[in-house]
Structure 1
């Protein structure tokens, strides 16, 4: 059994999020940000917390790092907790998502080191290939700005739809210019997409949620993102100003060590790809 504190949270309402940020501000007195205490890292359960647990159990003690891992199942709280100092760092997101989050929420989170990529994939319990999706089929996609755009780009790159030129990381179904099979899109919280597979014809699922749902991206996805030149690598992140915290720098070294690379390769068999 992993020695982590598991925290399950709902996506925060906008008002509560704004209140939380203004109330907490840049308080550095909490345990997550104390340079002489343990480094507390917020992480998605799979694979982020698993990778951190490997570091904690096998590498941290020898390196003189006191590491604690807190699991979160949403994509909001890890950043707000890092912003208010409840944790010292987080590990769950990519650069386009972080840029969008900081812009919308006034947070000051910055990346430290990129560790891995979780390829986004299209999955189905109804058909065995993307070509077999019928006219009018319903496809579930994540509803947060960046992951929805990423999902639509995956479909466009595989010839299922065409998107408006230059739409970038803010694409929505309204930006589809060609939809020859009249696909319908169901927008869901990212964590809900694998659970929707019984109710829709197909779903685009983030790699971490696919793995949690016992899907094997390298084997089960109808179409899968390419790792080549992919901007969606997941990284260790901190509040701006904490990049030089000795504990953070030590964790960054350990997360990009040969031991972690081998763990990722052995544990995930291509469903998670080391980015270093």
Structure 2
């Protein structure tokens, strides 16, 4: 009988200990939640993490931050750089970053179709030229028979690069109006160029090994060059619907597309000071793709 009473007391002690532990966890959760609310209230600042490619957009985002500070929006932008856009949407989808500004419409459409991300566009940023560069030649007509040409290895930028080569008169495409042509769409290649797909961030560094390369302006800026160093520049008219797929955008998850703080970020980005910064600092590497 005494053994049964002892066992009963032990069970009761274990139950009491479990209840105490649950209560302590609940109290801690309440404390942390209250502390977070107080920090938000007292500081008046919310941190929003933005995924970007490299560091070429840093000055744009400094201008966005300055505009939000002027407006008293209570938002602090923290940039998280990635090497390639392929990781940025994944990071946005899984909550590693709150939003991103690292791609154009065509890339987003292709990535969503491939990976089934639930993402949404918040607003336009800028259009960035994609041009042809070379350290051997000063114009496309100088390319030799069988020269190697590097283009980006992701689907949308690869297609855009093929259109740059067509605009330079080096190749002919089956349908010049196709947004994302593929190598099989090259129906004319009079100099039998060897068009090879490589990492777009490495194309400028590979130019000694390639007769030419087509890459994005952000990699050109990061590499210390100007877009005007290109041997062939493609003119960009924002009123031309054919250029819309290549307008860069701010993106978040569908669940957060109506977040009021994200709308404040877009509003600050779509301001004259930011447009002036894009025009002044990037000297043609980026053109504002919004009204203000």
Tell which structure's C-alpha radius of gyration is larger: 2
The interval holding the TM-score normalised by the smaller chain is 0.7 to 0.9
Instruction: Name the SS for the 2:85 alignment partner.
Output: coil
Partner residue, 1:11: none
Partner residue, 2:50: 41
1:73-112, Cα deviation, whole Å (9 max, x unpaired): 1111211111011111000100010000001011112211
Partner residue, 2:69: 61
Q: TM-score, normalised by structure 2?
A: 0.78
Partner residue, 1:275: 289
Instruction: Name the SS for the 1:186 alignment partner.
Output: strand
Alignment of 1:217-228 (within 5 A): 217=227, 219-228=228-237
Partner residue, 1:262: 276
Does 1:238 pair with 2:252?
A: yes
CA distance in structure 1 between the partners assigned to 2:270 and 2:56 by the alignment = 15
Alignment of 1:76-115 (within 5 A): 76-115=86-125
Partner residue, 1:181: 191
> Does the 8 A contact of 2:145 with 2:193 survive in 1?
yes
> Does the 8 A contact of 1:191 with 1:209 survive in 2?
yes
CA distance in structure 1 between the partners assigned to 2:179 and 2:156 by the alignment = 5
By how many angstroms is 1:235 displaced?
1.0
CA distance in structure 2 between the partners assigned to 1:236 and 1:171 by the alignment = 25
Q: Compare the two structures and name the one with the higher helix fraction.
A: 2
Task: Name the count of aligned residue pairs.
Answer: 241
Alignment of 1:119-158 (within 5 A): 119-158=129-168
By how many angstroms is 1:157 displaced?
2.1
By how many angstroms is 1:167 displaced?
7.6
> Does the 8 A contact of 2:135 with 2:208 survive in 1?
yes
By how many angstroms is 1:170 displaced?
3.8
Q: Gaps spanning 5+ residues in structure 1: where? A: 1-30
Instruction: Name the SS for the 1:47 alignment partner.
Output: coil
What is the aligned-residue RMSD (CA, Å)?
Answer: 1.9
Q: TM-score, normalised by structure 1?
A: 0.82
By how many angstroms is 1:270 displaced?
1.2
Instruction: Name the SS for the 1:122 alignment partner.
Output: strand
